[in-house]
A = this chain, B = another copy of it.
Amino acid sequence: MAALTHKYSGGFAVGTRRGIPEATVARLPIYHRVLAGLNDLGVATVSSEELANSSGVSSAKLRKDLSHLGSYGTRGVGYDVEFLVYQIARELGLTQDWPVIIVGVGNLGRALANYGGFASRGFRIVGLLDADPALIGSDVALAPGIRVRHLDELERVVEEAEPAIAVIATPALAAQDVCDRVVAAGMTSILNFAPVVLNVGDRVEVRKVDLATELQILAFHEQRRSRDTEVVVTDSKVSLTVGGAL
């Protein structure tokens, strides 16, 4: 029951940095973007303190994060910007470019297809698909040469272009079907904008972006805040008698 746990996941032999924590992976893109910016500005080195401030994290967290990639800093000095930006890019796989398809070319899908930050960081749109016949054949500004094809051709597009990532921007009702087909066609990475929980096998990685969810989280905090404030205004000593109205 015990005896099978590895106890500590980072820190094997010499040059090893296996098993970067998920929380760290999620921050690497931020560091990368900030560093790329500094690099463009001609900044040569940066301290953990500075980089952390620009990235909105604490310097301790930043150093721990970077320590999972290796010892890329210089004590007493900081990090070499150009070197570090490259190391992070390599870790994230940004040194190659990634073919992407977008399924669902409504308002959101079109906005995504035209989004500059996409192409600028090594993501190349190789397919646009939609079920609506009215959209077939239309083209989209920032995806030159890529015309919208019918959803029926999904499997063909996957085979031809071998996309690594599928972006699902369909209505909620269509999303699971599209997902199933994308997975059946052999794809393993999905970015889902549809407001549904996708069911996939566990070798498929799904990330979701849900606008309504984000707003609801903000609303929760906003509500808590104003509830608390009301109490302070009404009375100034009572510690916690709030909210139990119902």
Contacts and interface: CB of A to CB of B under 8 A. Distances in A.
A40 to B, nearest CB: 12
Interface in A38-63: 54-56
Interface in A169-210: 188-191, 195, 197-199, 205, 207, 209-210
Interface stretch (A128-136, A147-155, A217-225): A217-225
A29 interface: yes
A48 to B, nearest CB: 16
- For this chain, the copies found in one complex come to 2
A217 B54 CA distance: 20
A115 B121 contact: no
Contact of A215 (B100, B199, B244, B246): B100
A108 B100 contact: no
Given A107-B110, A195-B33, A118 B212 contact: yes
A28 interface: yes
A232 interface: no
Given A29-B216, A115-B107, A118-B215, A197 B92 contact: no
A91 interface: yes
A21 interface: no
B94 A219 contact: yes
A223 B90 CA distance: 10
Interface in A1-55: 12-13, 15-16, 18, 25-26, 28-30, 32-34, 54-55
Contacts of A244: 15-16
27 contacts: A26-B213, A26-B217, A28-B220, A29-B212, A30-B197, A33-B195, A34-B197, A56-B198, A92-B223, A93-B219, A93-B220, A94-B219, A106-B111, A107-B110, A107-B114, A108-B115, A111-B111, A117-B212, A118-B212, A118-B215, A121-B212, A121-B215, A123-B219, A165-B215, A165-B222, A191-B215, A205-B218
Given A33-B212, A165-B222, 10 more contacts: A12-B240, A55-B197, A92-B219, A93-B220, A98-B219, A100-B215, A117-B212, A165-B218, A165-B219, A190-B218
